Amino acid sequence: MQTYTHKNTYLQQQEKMFAAENGLKGDPRLQAISESIRVIPDFPKPGIMFQDITTLMLNHEVFKHTVDIFVERYRDMDISVVAGVEARGFMFGPPIALAIGAKFVPLRKPRKLPGEVISESYVLEYGTDCLEMHVGAVQPGERALIIDDLVATGGTLFAAISLLERAGAEVAECACVIGLPEVKIWLVYLKDTRKMSKLLLDFDYEEPI
């Protein structure tokens, strides 16, 4: 899901690792992936340049490349849980989970998951929102990967990390197809999640619209 502002708010550059810096520079797949993402101006509100990944999924080869790049990175990292953030995280998470033999855990808006859940609130420009996870979905000590389509301020991912850590899991990494504010910087890997959490607390960031 996208809860971001069109203004240039972002985690410090050194906290993000882009695929190009991560040994994938010159990988022809990245170019094709970037070009397949459509930008829609003024959606859902004026001033927002929406990064539309539905066009990525219309191109089977590019969709496969995207999943493959993540799978190549994570299959030997002992990851037993892939947690996907509603809703677009559900499109990339399951294929990655299936390929690396991990379970898939959906992280959802309130009242959508049946049964017992744990909740984590996070701050928006006006008010708050909330992410939920099923109790018992992850076991203490499991290693988790969090997936979303896009990262902007990181607020959603921060809430996702909290949920998984509260359940006793260790978040190995967060992975997103797109990182803002630079348009179409692709395959962002957020490492050192502890540092990222601290950064968000200290950082005077613009709340999402």
Partner 1 sequence: MSVSASDGEDDQRILTIKEKIRVVLDFPKPGIMFQDITTLLLDPVAFKNTIDLFVERYKDRNIAVVAGPVFLCISLLISNSVSARIEARGFIFGPPIALAIGAKFVPLRKPKKLPGEVISEEYVLEYGSDCLEMQVGAVEQRERALVVDDLVATGGTLCAAVNLLERAGAEVVVCACVIEVPDLKGHERLKGKPLHILVEAH
Indicate which residues carry an active-site annotation: 88, 125
Please tell me the count of residues contacting partner 1 according to CB under 8 A: 36
Complex with partner 1: residue 60 or 126, whichever CB lies closer:
60
Are the CB atoms for 180 and 149 separated by under 8 Å? Answer: no
Give the Cα separation of 78 and 17 in Å (integer). 20
Site mask for partner 1 (CB under 8 A), range 61-100, x = bound: --xx--x------------------xx--xxx-xx-xx--
Amino acid at 12: Q
Complex with partner 1: residue 120 or 132, whichever CB lies closer:
132
Are the CB atoms for 88 and 148 separated by under 8 Å? Answer: yes
Beta-sheet pairing, 103-107 with 81-85 = parallel
Answer for which of 12, 31, 54, 121 binds partner 1 (CB under 8 A) is 54
Answer for which of 134, 153, 162, 193 binds partner 1 (CB under 8 A) is 134
Are the CB atoms for 86 and 107 separated by under 8 Å? Answer: yes
Give the Cα separation of 45 and 86 in Å (integer). 20
Residues that bind partner 1 (CB under 8 A): 38, 40, 43-44, 50, 52, 54, 57-60, 63-64, 67, 86-87, 90-92, 94-95, 97-98, 101-106, 111-115, 134, 137
